[in-house]
């Protein structure tokens, strides 16, 4: 396999407590730590392991967004990716637009495999990988917890509601990653310094023939209600009484 294409999305770090703006217009990101979407970090780690086994020659990381996303792409380069591509867009893109961007990049790069996180922790859509496979007319394997390559085929263990499912797909293909696939590596300072010399290409969204369209408009954001304090009961009868008092029985 020649190339692996990996998507990296810039999101609020999962350790940060998310705050909604006072006017309800969105999430407050001023001064907030931003990171690579955790599922995308797992996708990149898997691509790097494939390359280290000699089963691919190049790993390319891709992000869609403003110039700020270069920070996450540089982190991906520090982890071990060979090249980075930032598709410049001043506005957020929906999953279908994201899939169209990757489809256009596939025509340019001709990868043997595209690996994406199964979802982003900011919108939780879980749609881009599936849409990309449909646009590309290639097989897909979502929620991968184990991946093995054998020539022009991939064996993927998927996490589904009833347990694990093992499927075999032809390559090229789209694979989306679940949490148990691997543990991403720690980025060391020397690798961060080396990453500054690796190529990072900037491509305006319009140059790919893709228009940033948002078919859904988010009109208001509200924080979730505070979790109610729990109570202690002495026995089953007390539990039943407490549930009846709350109208749950």
Q: Tens place of pLDDT for every residue, the chain, 249 residues?
A: 899 999 999 999 888 888 888 787 778 778 889 899 999 999 999 999 999 999 999 999 999 999 999 999 999 999 999 999 999 998 888 899 999 999 999 999 999 999 999 999 988 899 999 999 999 999 999 999 999 999 999 999 998 888 899 999 999 999 999 999 999 999 989 999 999 999 999 999 999 998 877 667 777 888 778 877 888 888 999 899 988 888 887
CATH topology of domain 3-219: Rossmann fold (3.40.50)
Q: Is the separation of the CB atoms in 4 and 111 below 8 Å?
A: yes
* Token pair 């999101």 in the structure block, residue: 11
Residue 95's pLDDT is: 92
CA distances from 212 to 18, 90, 96, 168 (A): 26, 9, 10, 34
Tokens matching residue 217: 């408009």
Residue 3's pLDDT is: 96
Q: Is the separation of the CB atoms in 212 and 205 below 8 Å?
A: yes
Q: Is the separation of the CB atoms in 133 and 173 below 8 Å?
A: yes
CA torsion 158-164-170-173 (nearest 10°) is -10
Residue 232's pLDDT is: 87
d(CA 212, CA 95): 10
- Give the CA count within 13 Å in the CB-facing half-sphere of 149: 20
Tokens matching residue 143: 């929620």
Rounded to two decimals, the pTM is 0.85
* Token pair 């020397």 in the structure block, residue: 190
Residue 245's pLDDT is: 86
Q: What is the DSSP string of 4-67?
A: EEEE--EEE-TTSPP-B-TTSSSB--TT--EEE-HHHHHHHHHHHHHHHTTS-SEEEEEEEESG
Residue 215's pLDDT is: 67
């Amino acid at each position: 396999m020649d190339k692996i294409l990996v998507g990296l999305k810039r999101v609020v770090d999962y350790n940060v407590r998310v705050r909604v703006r006072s006017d309800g217009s969105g999430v407050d990101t001023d001064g907030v730590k931003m990171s690579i979407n955790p599922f995308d970090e797992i996708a990149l780690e898997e691509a790097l392991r494939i390359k280290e086994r000699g089963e691919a020659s190049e790993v390319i990381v891709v992000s869609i967004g403003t110039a700020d996303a270069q920070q996450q792409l540089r982190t991906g380069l520090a982890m071990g990716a060979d090249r980075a591509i930032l598709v410049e867009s001043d506005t957020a893109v929906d999953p279908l637009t994201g899939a169209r961007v990757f489809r256009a990049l596939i025509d340019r790069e001709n990868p043997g495999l595209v690996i994406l996180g199964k979802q982003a922790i900011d919108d939780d859509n879980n749609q881009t990988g599936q849409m990309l496979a449909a646009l590309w007319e290639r097989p897909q394997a979502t929620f991968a917890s184990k991946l093995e390559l054998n020539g022009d085929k991939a064996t993927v263990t998927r996490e589904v509601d009833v347990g694990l499912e093992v499927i075999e797909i032809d390559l090229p293909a789209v694979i989306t990653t679940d949490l148990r696939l691997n543990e991403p590596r720690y980025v060391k300072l020397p690798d961060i310094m080396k990453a500054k010399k690796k190529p990072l290409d900037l491509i305006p969204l319009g140059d790919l023939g893709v228009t940033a369209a948002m078919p859904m408009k988010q009109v208001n954001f509200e924080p979730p209600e505070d979790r109610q304090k729990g109570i202690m009961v002495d026995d089953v009868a007390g539990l039943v009484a407490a549930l009846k008092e709350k109208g749950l029985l």
